[in-house]
Structure 1
Amino acid sequence: MSPATGFTGMWRDLLPLGRDTRSGGYRRFAWTPADTETRDWFRQQAADRELTYEEDRNGNQWAWLGDPRGEGAVVTGSHLDSVPDGGAFDGPLGVVSAFAALDELRERGARPARPLAVTNFADEEGARFGLACVGSRLSAGALTKEAAYALRDAEGISLPRAMEAAGHDPETIGADPERLARISAYVELHVEQGRALDLTGDPVGIASAIWPHGRWRFDFRGEGNHAGTTRLADRHDPMLPYAETVLAARREAALAQAVATFGKIAVVPGGVNAIPSLVRGWLDSRAADQTTLDSVVTAIEGAAREAAAREGVDLDVVRESFTPVVEFGHALRTELGKVLGRQSEGRAVPVLPTGAGHDAGILSAAVPTAMLFVRNPTGVSHAPAEHADEADCLAGVTALADVLEELACR
C-alpha cells in the first residue's frame, strides 16, 4: 500500500466519526462517545502497523515504532477532538499525516536509529471543559491535578467523572516528566489557520511562534424582571453592558492590530420575555506580544466596567486560561528549513507565526518542538468549510517524512 493510498483510506475512515449531519461540522468533544470512536480509530491504526500502543496517565495516546522506553525519541502527531461544529482538518490532519509519514519511511526502507511515535493528545480544543490542551498541559506540569479536577462542563460533569465514564482512571493524571525527558523532538503538522501560504503559493510552511493568548470570563449581574412591564428607566439589564463590551473588544483589537472575540455566551434565565439577571460571556484575545495583549484586555475590561456602572450592573472578570508567547527553538526550526529546502530545490520555505494555540506550544517548555503548516486555500478554520487540497496534504506527508527521516534515521 502506497503512502498516498494509506492517507486516503485513513481519511475516509475517520471522516464520518463525530460528524453532525445537520451542520456538516464535528462534535468530537473530550471523553464523549464520539471521542471514544476516534480513539478506537487511532488504536486500530497502531495495530494495523504493528506499532506498540499505549495510553499514558493523562489519556494521551501513543503508537510506537521502536522501544517506548528508549531515549532520544522523535514524536509527531496532533489531536482528534474538535470545537463545536469544527472542521475536519484541525488536529486530525496531523495525526493522519503522522501515520502516513511512517508508511512513507517504511516504503523508502528507512531504518530509524531512535524510537519514533505518533501521538493523539487528549482534549486539545477545550470545547467541553473550557480549557485548551488539557492532555499536554497535564503531562508538562502546566495544569495540576487539583485544577483539572475542578474543571466542569456545561452540565456540571467534572473532568474526572467524564474520564472515568470513558474508561480512564482519573486518579493517575498529572505531570509526566520521565516520558517527556525521553523525547528529543516533537514535530506537529497542522492545517494552516489562515491564508499566508495560499498568498505565497506554498503547500507547506514552518511555524516561527505562537502568539500569547488567553480566555477571560465576563459575568454581568443585573436584575431579572418582566420584559413587558418594566420601564426602561427602571431596568438593570446586564445584556446592555455586555453588548457594549463586544463592540469595545472589536474596536480595541483593531486599534492594536490584535484579535479579540466573544464567541460564547450564557444568559440566565434565558427567557424571551424576561430581562436577564446574568449575562456571562467568554473573551478570547490574542496578540503578537504580551504588552499588546495586556493593553487590549485591560482596555476591554475598562470599557465593560464603565458600561456596567451606567446600567447599575455588577461585573466580575476572571481569567480562565492563559498561554504566553511561544518562540519555537531556532535550532530545530533551522534544521526543518534545511531539510525542506533541499526538497524544494533550494527555495526557501515560508516561516510564519500563528495566533492559534497548539499542543506543540505547551510542550515547548519541556521538549524541543516545531510545527509544519499545510496550505488552507480559504483560510477558514474552526468551521465546516475548513479545507486543504489532497495534493497539499500529500505534500505535507512527504515533508513530515523527510523531517522524521532526518531526525530519527541519521
Structure 2
Amino acid sequence: MDKDTISINIQKKLEKLSTFTATPGHGCTRLPFTKEARQAADFIKTLMAESGLKVNEDQAGNVIGVLEGEDTQAPALVVGSHYDTVINGGNFDGLAGIVAGIEIAHLLKENGVQLKRNFIVVGFCDEEGMRFGTGYFGSKAMLGQITLEDLHQYKDKDNVSVYKAIQEYGLVPEDVLKAKQDLSKIKAFIEVHIEQGPVLDQKKVEIGLVECIVGIQRFIVTVHGRADHAGTTPMDMRIDAVAAATKVISKIPDWAREKGDGTVVTTGFVKVLPGGMNIIAEEVQFSIDIRSRNNDNINDIVAKIRAELDKACKANGASWEMHNKLTIEPVDLSENMLSMLQKSCETHGYSWQRMPSGAGHDALAIGQSIDTVMVFVPSKDGRSHCPVEWTEYADIAKAVTIIYDLIVDMQ
C-alpha cells in the first residue's frame, strides 16, 4: 500500500471537488440542493464508479456506492461523510471523509480483496444545516427520521422550503421517505473527518480516535416588539425587541461556562426588523446552538433561556417564541472499533490520542442507532469553516490506511 500514491489520489479528488463552489476565490460554498451540490454529487458518482462501486442517488440527495462482497445480504460496513459546506467554508470538511471511503474501495479492488460483506461509501446531503437551519438531513433521512411535514416546515432565507428545493434539484420530495435504510443490514459506520480544532496540530499527533460526540440542540428565537420613532418615543413607553433580546443573549455564554463538560453555546445569527437606524425594532430573530457531552447541561440552559425570555419580555411588553430546529443527544462511539484502530496506529507507527468531538457530524446522528466510530486528522492551526481550512493530504492517507485495516479485520 503506497502511501504517497494514496496521498496524490486524495489530492486530485479534493482539488477537483473544491471547484464546485458558489464563491470562487472566497472559500467553498456548496449549499444543499443547489447547482454546486449537483456538480459535486455527479463528480462523486464518477469517482465511485471508477473505483468499482455500484452507484445510486437516493431521493434525499445522498450519493451511495456499493462494493459487493461474497454475501450481499450480510450487514454491510459503511464509510461516509457529507458533501455540502458552510458559506465561504473550506475544501476538506466532509469531503475528506467521502474521498477517503472511495480510496479504500479503490485499494480493496486494486489488492484483489473481496470482502465477505458489502462495503458502502456514502456522500451525505446537508449535514451542515447551513441553508435551512436544521442539519443531518441526509443521514436522518436514511435513519427514517425525516417527515413530509419537515420538508414543508423548514425554509431558507429566501423562503424556499426544503420541499421546493428538492423539486428544483430534480428529485421527488414525497420519495424522501424511501431513503430510509433497513438498519439491520448495516454492521458499522465509520467516518473520517478533519478535526476542525487545534488539538492534534498543536500536539503533533497524527490520528485522533473519537470516543464520543457532543449532543446538540438548535433553536430560532423570535422576539416581537413594536416599531416606533427613535426620537419621539420615550424610553419607558417603548416595546423594543432589541432591548429584550439582548438581555437574554448577553447571559447565555456565562451559563455555558458555569456548566463545564465542554458545554458551549453560540448565537451566530441575529436579524433585526425593520432594521433602520431611526426605528425602534419591531422584531428580532436570533439563533441558539447548544452543545455538550452532558444532555442535562443542554436542557438546563434551554430552561434558563426560556425563563429569561419571559422576564425580559414582560419588563417592556414584548413577546417571544422559540422554535426547535434540531435535537440530537450525545453519543459514545464503539470501544471495539476504537481498540482495533488504536492497534492499527501502533502497527503503522502513527501517533494517536483518544478525544471527544465538539462538532456534530453524520456519525452523531447515525451513532444513535448503529455501531459507529470516527477518525480525526489534524487541521492546520485548528482552522475550519473558513477558506484557510487545511489538512495535509498525507494525513488523510494515514486515516485511509488504518480504516482499510479495520474494514478487512471486521469483514
Pair in the same fold by TM > 0.5: yes
Question: Structure 2, unaligned stretches of length 5 or more?
Answer: none
**2:254 aligned with 1:231, yes or no?**
no
Note if contact 1:104-1:398 (Cα within 8 Å) is conserved in structure 2: no
Residue 176 of structure 1: how far off its partner (Å): 5.0
Q: Distance in 2 between matches of 1:337 and 1:149?
A: 44
Q: Tell me the equivalent position of 1:34.
A: 36
What code does the residue aligned with 1:44 have? T
Question: Structure 1, unaligned stretches of length 5 or more?
Answer: none
Q: Tell me the equivalent position of 2:394.
A: 391
Note if contact 1:340-1:402 (Cα within 8 Å) is conserved in structure 2: no
**2:159 aligned with 1:149, yes or no?**
no
Q: Distance in 1 between matches of 2:344 and 2:75?
A: 19
- Does the C-alpha gap of structure 1 residues 17 and 380 become closer, same or farther in structure 2, counting only changes over 3 Å? same
Alignment of 1:267-306 (within 5 A): 267-306=272-311
Q: Distance in 2 between matches of 1:38 and 1:311?
A: 50
Alignment of 1:362-381 (within 5 A): 362-381=365-384
Residue 394 of structure 1: how far off its partner (Å): 2.2
Residue 251 of structure 1: how far off its partner (Å): 1.3
Residue 382 of structure 1: how far off its partner (Å): 2.0
Provide Cα deviations, 1:136-174, integer angstroms capped at 9, x if missing partner: 112212233333332222222221221111111112112
Q: Tell me the equivalent position of 1:361.
A: 364
Which stretch of structure 1 is more off in the superposition, 263-272 or 353-362? 263-272
Provide Cα deviations, 1:284-319, integer angstroms capped at 9, x if missing partner: 011120122222222233333322232322122222
Q: Distance in 2 between matches of 1:155 and 1:69?
A: 44
- Does the C-alpha gap of structure 1 residues 237 and 178 become closer, same or farther in structure 2, counting only changes over 3 Å? closer
Note if contact 1:218-1:317 (Cα within 8 Å) is conserved in structure 2: yes
What code does the residue aligned with 1:317 have? M
Which stretch of structure 1 is more off in the superposition, 334-343 or 243-252? 334-343
- Does the C-alpha gap of structure 1 residues 301 and 383 become closer, same or farther in structure 2, counting only changes over 3 Å? farther
Residue 102 of structure 1: how far off its partner (Å): 2.4
Q: Tell me the equivalent position of 1:219.
A: 222
Residue 338 of structure 1: how far off its partner (Å): 2.7
Q: Distance in 2 between matches of 1:9 and 1:295?
A: 47
Provide Cα deviations, 1:324-343, integer angstroms capped at 9, x if missing partner: 11111322333332333322
Which stretch of structure 1 is more off in the superposition, 364-373 or 307-316? 307-316
What code does the residue aligned with 2:46 have? Q
Q: Tell me the equivalent position of 2:101.
A: 98
Q: Distance in 2 between matches of 1:315 and 1:145?
A: 27
Structure 1 SS opposite 2:302 = helix
Note if contact 1:215-1:320 (Cα within 8 Å) is conserved in structure 2: yes
Residue 261 of structure 1: how far off its partner (Å): 0.6
Q: Distance in 1 between matches of 2:360 and 2:151?
A: 19
Q: Distance in 2 between matches of 1:131 and 1:88?
A: 22
Compute the TM-score of the two structures, normalised by the length of structure 2. 0.92
Q: Distance in 2 between matches of 1:218 and 1:279?
A: 8
Q: Tell me the equivalent position of 1:61.
A: 63
Note if contact 2:52-2:109 (Cα within 8 Å) is conserved in structure 1: no
Q: Tell me the equivalent position of 1:21.
A: 24
- Does the C-alpha gap of structure 1 residues 19 and 100 become closer, same or farther in structure 2, counting only changes over 3 Å? farther
Provide Cα deviations, 1:194-248, integer angstroms capped at 9, x if missing partner: 2222243211111111111110221111011223433333322111222222221
Residue 49 of structure 1: how far off its partner (Å): 2.3
Structure 1 SS opposite 2:355 = strand
Tell me the matched-pair count: 405
Q: Tell me the equivalent position of 1:205.
A: 208
What code does the residue aligned with 1:55 have? E
Which stretch of structure 1 is more off in the superposition, 265-274 or 156-165? 265-274
Q: Tell me the equivalent position of 1:309.
A: 314
**2:88 aligned with 1:115, yes or no?**
no
Which stretch of structure 1 is more off in the superposition, 64-73 or 381-390? 64-73
Q: Distance in 2 between matches of 1:50 and 1:198?
A: 34
Q: Distance in 1 between matches of 2:38 and 2:59?
A: 16
Note if contact 1:3-1:103 (Cα within 8 Å) is conserved in structure 2: no
Note if contact 1:268-1:278 (Cα within 8 Å) is conserved in structure 2: yes
**2:133 aligned with 1:130, yes or no?**
yes
- Does the C-alpha gap of structure 1 residues 48 and 97 become closer, same or farther in structure 2, counting only changes over 3 Å? same
Q: Tell me the equivalent position of 1:169.
A: 172
Q: Distance in 2 between matches of 1:62 and 1:354?
A: 25
Structure 1 SS opposite 2:46 = helix
What code does the residue aligned with 1:91 have? G
What code does the residue aligned with 1:35 have? A
Give RMSD over aligned pairs. 2.2
Query: Identity over aligned residues, as a percent?
Result: 28
Structure 2 SS opposite 1:193 = coil
